[in-house]
Amino acid sequence: MRRCVGSNVAGKREKSRLQPSLRSFTLRATAEAQATSGGAAETSGRVRSAALVGSKPGSPDWIKRTAARAMLRAVRFKDEDFLKPLVTVSCPYTNATPCNDHMDELARVIAERIEKRGGKPLLHGTPVVSDGETMGTPGMRYSLVSRDLIADCIECQHEAYMADGLITLGGCDKTIPGAIMPLLRNDSIGVFLYGGSILPGGPERNLDVISAFEAIGARSANRITDEQLFEIEKSACPGAGACAGAFTANTMATIAVALGLAVPYSAGHVASTYEGKVTENKKQDCRDTVDALFTCLERGITARQIATRKAFENAIVVAMALGGSTNAVLHVLALAHEAQVPLSIDEFHEIGSQVPLLGQFRPFSKYVMADLDRIGGVPVLMKHLLVNGFLHGDCLTCTGKTLEENLADIPDQLPAGQDVILPLDKPYAPPGRHILVLKGNLAPEGAVIKLSGKGLRRHQGPARVFDSESAAIDAILAGRIHKGDVLVIRYEGPAGAPGCPEMLSPSAALVGQGLGSDVALVTDGRFSGGSHGIMIGHVCPEAYVGGPIALLEEGDEIVIDIDALTINVAGLSSTEWERRKANWKPVLKPAHGLLAKYRMLVQPASRGAITTQAE
């Protein structure tokens, strides 16, 4: 086995970032010098909040901050609270989606633990957009937009109140990268906590929300009845928690652990029981997260000291071994940008393509995250990768220990009698058979495909071109898409939609109609982690900016060659390309308010669809 698969990409070994940054050291030293002698709760971790409430009674800045303290007393602050470290708790609660329906309860457990540890919590909310509920509607345009909006909201709250520590929560998939980005953007002292996944539904405990999406296509093809469709609707989602399989939420929660920004077992613990109560494991994750934060406060450990280049390599390796979502490419690139760690889509591909696929998870196989938790959770997978040389064990984590130290008590061998995670010598699929980056005259800057072990080597067929997801859905459900076609959905990219909506509805409809293995779907939009089939997304440049996908015409022959890692339009001369380009007129979808602002700022999917510039 090759030792640490990312080492050839990273080049020279980076200098250790385990020592506190000058900024962290200065802030901490200043706080300690300003603190009074009234005990640990007055001094430990006050790295910034003296600027808000004052250093100590009688000092000049204490007098200046009288008005701020007066207002805080109205929200139940007492004398002693002004000498405690302030901790922002970013809670994306809503009762509009099961993914985040329990977040308020988690926030209460966290707040209680903060108080017990001698801190003072400052709670706030963020927007939450459910992909599953808005899928296929104009509201879905706000999904990816919400990632960056959530990050901005957390940054605004935490920086405005100059809190000392930061705990961010995430559930529905965009809330996870949205909650991690501000930790890295401002090099905060902070920890992330995943709300947990949902349990499988149905009488046989084998259903999830993807089952409902695929049932729509099955019903349109008369493969199931109205009664069967209704039973799936009623039982697919049995309680709180994010989608159960290796979809985007669980992929990003796993990445948070692999990066070291979340406590080790938090990605695997489910959110709630079948009786509707938050699990004890998840409550313990809350307490462990607070304890990790106080370790970071005491030692001055900031997010960028944890999320190094080697940590990002670990994250990519673990996500690929798990069998994660294509959205991992988009979000990991965005996280690396915020951490100021150089990482390109080509480097993501080079690292990821060296990793075998070990997990057997939905949507491409049979298991869900609760099954991984049953055998020991994400740390079991990480220990198997570590002992076989796929991970950097010396990376610092939010526990104050290295990754290797966190995994020290886990057996080197995978648990016997299970096939949730397969061994490296007998993987579900060999390296280079999960998420890959394709390029060619249709996607000069790249496109992303998720094979998940499928034997596909080549697909060639006529383009069936649609300028919107809704038009494509209508064609699928009307039976106008046939075996061998290449379904092209364009003007759905970051700037074009705007918002780069996911194409789960059409992909699930194809699977439901039995066309998942015979029709390729190519788009400048995204795919849900629940999508499977021949799905190619993130085509760059997108149609909105005049990329080659905008110049396609009905019937053009598209060739997808997996071995060559290419996606091309066959038989078009350079003269024909130029003719089409000269005659091209963009499709401009209306956007106002937040969407218009996003369209002005967003960068291509090949750069993570980020909206901030490099410092």
User: Helix, strand or coil for residue 486?
Assistant: strand
Q: Considering only CA atoms, which of 275, 202, 198, 282 is closest in space to residue 244?
A: 198
Cα separation values, 389 from 317, 321, 383, Å: 11, 13, 10
Q: Which two tokens stand for residue 334?
A: 């965005």
Cα–Cα distance, 550 to 542 (Å, whole number): 7
User: Helix, strand or coil for residue 563?
Assistant: coil
Which element (helix H / strand E) includes 450? strand 443-450
Q: Which two tokens stand for residue 478?
A: 């009307």
User: Helix, strand or coil for residue 134?
Assistant: helix
* Direct distance between the N- and C-terminal alpha carbons of the chain, in angstroms, rounded to an integer: 38
Cα–Cα distance, 257 to 381 (Å, whole number): 12
Sign (positive/negative) of CA torsion 327, 330, 334, 339?
positive
Count helices and strands in the chain by DSSP H and E runs: 25, 12
Burial class (CB in 10 A: 0-12, 13-18, 19+), 54: buried
Contact between 332 and 315 under an 8 Å Cβ cutoff? The reply is yes
Neighbours of 14 (CB within 10 A): 11
Cα–Cα distance, 164 to 490 (Å, whole number): 45
Contact between 567 and 557 under an 8 Å Cβ cutoff? The reply is no
Question: CA Rg, the chain, in Å?
Answer: 24
Q: Considering only CA atoms, which of 75, 76, 54 is closest in space to residue 65?
A: 54
Cα–Cα distance, 251 to 281 (Å, whole number): 19
Sheet bearing 86-91, strands edge to edge = 120-125, 86-91, 165-170, 190-194
Residues involved in catalysis = 528
